[in-house]
Amino acid sequence: MSDKLATQIEKIVRKAAGIEHGPVVLHEPFFNGNERQYVTDCIDTNWVSTVGKYVNLFEQLLSRVTGVKHCIATVNGTAALHICMILAGVQRDDEVLTQALTFVAAPNAISYCGAIPHFVDISPVSLGVCPDRLREYLQRIGEIREDSLFNRQTGRRIRSLLIMHTFGHPSHLDELKQICDEYKLILVEDAAEAIGSEYGRKHVGQHGLLSTLSFNGNKILTTGGGGAILTNDDEIARQARHLTTTGKVTHQWEYYHDCVAYNYRMPNLNAALGCAQLEKLSEVLTKKRLLASRYNSEFSKVDEITFFTEMPGVKSNYWLNAIILKKVSREQRNSLLDKLNDGGIMVRPAWNLSNTLPMYKSCPSDDLSVSLGIEESLINVPSSPSF
Amino acid sequence: MSDKLATQIEKIVRKAAGIEHGPVVLHEPFFNGNERQYVTDCIDTNWVSTVGKYVNLFEQLLSRVTGVKHCIATVNGTAALHICMILAGVQRDDEVLTQALTFVAAPNAISYCGAIPHFVDISPVSLGVCPDRLREYLQRIGEIREDSLFNRQTGRRIRSLLIMHTFGHPSHLDELKQICDEYKLILVEDAAEAIGSEYGRKHVGQHGLLSTLSFNGNKILTTGGGGAILTNDDEIARQARHLTTTGKVTHQWEYYHDCVAYNYRMPNLNAALGCAQLEKLSEVLTKKRLLASRYNSEFSKVDEITFFTEMPGVKSNYWLNAIILKKVSREQRNSLLDKLNDGGIMVRPAWNLSNTLPMYKSCPSDDLSVSLGIEESLINVPSSPSF
């Protein structure tokens, strides 16, 4: 069965990508603008490091694109998540609710604060945290004391809900924000994969007190390595800037630092690449959605496959297009992944669920049956904007 | 007095730098090789992120230059220090001995592990940790139990000695290594400022179990932002590589991570810049030492100033040239710093001693009178390799 399916998938991918022979990569950067010019300009002007016009410009352009007041550029999305957790007030021995179907950076950022990831299930419609399931779960295990939410089972404070817009698909933001307000949780949006994605005609990243973006090489826009912290709160933005620049107090010549802080600022060289990339964002988003619609019409003809589409009321950037295999065992899926990759069609499953990784095995968790079902049956197919 | 001295210093700096009018910056990058070509090549080939030929090449070139078997490129020197602390076995509530006269990244890296910096004094000859003072101090406060060193006063384990080669001047490596061996301490060398510096005709970074480099924009070589971990130990190198690349277990398509790890790998774009920079290292080092010798001969004519020179048996890269003001109060020094900077001669003091920063105020500490004396009287003068 998987031989025939592999052939079908290969045919659809090659047609959608317009690549008849040779390898089709999962997602590669798309450089057709001012990338060379801006990067060379950094070298010509000697401004390559963590101070320079492109870092500031990149932050301004990000604000314009996302509609979020403050954007702070960082070395990568993981660094951005770490700072968000700190500024959400996450402390040692706190718990942070998060989805198990996520990139490992999310639980890692929680654990950098000495806190404990607490895994909740996702919605099969958004692939993000399921608001109905979350509410039901919090009713069961949560208790509000001293204006904070506590886990009745562990006795620990639950400080924050860290959600992700999986593969660029916006989560149920209104409902999740409502739950956070009721349960005294700080909402943080991991929008690493979701630049250009909209919820109710607004760019994602506005419901959370803090949100993050990523500009890793596999993302829609890249800065080589890079990320950003987004927030509409002036004071939190000031703190984010301070914490990402070693906590140095501005002074003409003195080296005085007033807190334990981080060396997380994006270098100018990387921001230069990002500025050129941002200039092409709408072109890239159009290409991405066209590719998704080509995939959708072709995969809908295959009985064994559902092409994952955005839910009503949102607009996804379709970062990584995803298909769900119906009635296929994990072994069959693995065999499909082997065959396609061996044949030059780069495909991947979702991430292994975080609660199955050795370092997070003993973390608290709700029932994760939807996450598990998705993890076993979802495959990402090649999605480069250059197709 | 400070007016006359400021004028004298300005005259010497302008002559040494060959800049008659306009600003003279402290240290700017020097791009006269293949920087543009290699960086553009990353864009042309679509390899800008954390995988690519320049990252591997940069690591190989670093190994060749330093003589250290394994070099692992990181996003910056702070990230490198953090991983070194982890791999030195530093754990929560351990103490790590380190100099108070250092960039804040060193105590920060210690505290990222939940450990406590423990400050010791420096030698006025090296500006690094003083071996005689350290030995005397450990005899007084240290106690070896269960093959580990403990602080008799706090009861905490002292795990490591983190030294720095201040402004590129090698520390007393043989003596410090000897003390570490006797007292069961893991030696880590912060060589952030010391690429090209030698101790006994060997590049620094070989005495420590682990060492670090930095390629920030103000360093002798730059990658925009960047750093490296150096070690001759195969297993530690493997762990460093694993910990800096999110702990992902290599697999064709699976996303399995086996430990809490970090997103610390240097992007290819930055490494490309570094490769071009490394090709010019010996030229830059020659220029740096020539500048230092011009400064030395001019400053030796000024009664109120001692030009800081390398100690016998070592070769400094003279990253930041330093002068020591004799019999000048802190107020007079500050006034001198104001005057020179206002006049376009960018000068700076050493870092504020770490034990005076609010977050490290209550950390254990030996008497730090030498550090304090240096901190009050040292000024770094412009040192760009382009002079």
DSSP letter, residue B253: S
Cβ pair B258:A79 closer than 8 A: no
Mean pLDDT of B283-291: 97
Type and span of the H or E element at B315: strand B314-315
Helix (H, G, I), strand (E, B) or coil at A203: strand
First to last CA, chain B: 28
In A128-172, alpha helices (H): 131-141
Q: Where in chain B is the domain with CATH 3.90.1150.10?
A: 2-26+281-355+363-381
* Cα(B230)–Cα(B236) distance, integer angstroms: 10
Looking only at the bridges linking them, the beta strands covering B95-99 and B116-120 are parallel
**Would you say A248 and A255 are in contact if contact means Cβ atoms under 8 Å apart?**
yes
Q: Which of B105, B222, B261 sits opposite A263 (nearest CB)?
A: B105
State pLDDT tens for residues B109-165: 999 999 999 999 999 999 999 999 999 999 999 999 989 999 999 999 999 999 999
Q: Answer left, alpha or beta for residue B73, where phi above 0 means left and psi between -120 and 50 means alpha.
A: beta
Q: Which of B40, B253, B357 sits opposite A337 (nearest CB)?
A: B253
Mean pLDDT of A317-339: 96
* Cα(A308)–Cα(A326) distance, integer angstroms: 12
Cβ pair A263:B28 closer than 8 A: no
| Confidence band, pLDDT 50/70/90 cuts, at residue B184 | very high
| Minimal CA separation from A68 to chain B, in Å | 25
Among all residues of chain A, which has the CA nearest to that of B379?
A253
**pTM reported for the whole predicted model:** 0.97
| Confidence band, pLDDT 50/70/90 cuts, at residue B52 | confident
| Confidence band, pLDDT 50/70/90 cuts, at residue A1 | low
Q: Which two tokens stand for residue A246?
A: 């070693």
Query: B35-280, what's its fold?
Result: Aspartate Aminotransferase; domain 2 (3.40.640)
Cβ pair B111:A260 closer than 8 A: yes
| Minimal CA separation from A155 to chain B, in Å | 23
Q: Which of B78, B256, B348 sits opposite A253 (nearest CB)?
A: B348
Q: Which of B216, B258, B357 sits opposite A49 (nearest CB)?
A: B216
Mean pLDDT of B223-233: 97
| Minimal CA separation from A174 to chain B, in Å | 30
Cβ pair A217:B273 closer than 8 A: no
* Cα(A226)–Cα(B296) distance, integer angstroms: 42
Cβ pair A35:B46 closer than 8 A: no
Helix (H, G, I), strand (E, B) or coil at A231: strand
Chain A residues touching residue B269 (CB < 8 angstroms): 39, 224, 269-270, 273
Type and span of the H or E element at B314: strand B314-315
Looking only at the bridges linking them, the beta strands covering A210-214 and A186-190 are parallel
User: Does residue A3 register a pLDDT over 70?
Assistant: yes
| Minimal CA separation from A283 to chain B, in Å | 18
- To the nearest 10°, the Cα dihedral for A188, A192, A193, A197? 60
Q: What count of CB pairs under 8 Å joins A to B?
A: 195
Cβ pair B75:A225 closer than 8 A: yes
| Minimal CA separation from B195 to chain A, in Å | 18
| Neighbouring C-beta atoms of residue B360, cutoff 10 Å | 22
Q: Where in chain B is the domain with CATH 3.40.640.10?
A: 35-280
Q: Where in chain A is the domain with CATH 3.90.1150.10?
A: 2-27+281-355+363-381
User: Does residue B88 register a pLDDT over 90?
Assistant: yes
Among all residues of chain B, which has the CA nearest to that of A81?
B263
Chain B residues touching residue A252 (CB < 8 angstroms): 337-338, 341
Q: Which CATH superfamily is domain A2-27+281-355+363-381 in?
A: Aspartate Aminotransferase, domain 1 (3.90.1150.10)
Q: Which of B29, B258, B352 sits opposite A256 (nearest CB)?
A: B352
Class of domain B2-26+281-355+363-381 as given by CATH? alpha beta
> Which one-letter amino acid corresponds to residue A206?
Q
Q: What are phi and psi of B4, to 5 degrees?
A: -65, -45
User: Does residue A328 register a pLDDT over 70?
Assistant: yes
ipTM above 0.90, yes or no: yes
Chain A residues touching residue B102 (CB < 8 angstroms): none
* Cα(A253)–Cα(B26) distance, integer angstroms: 11
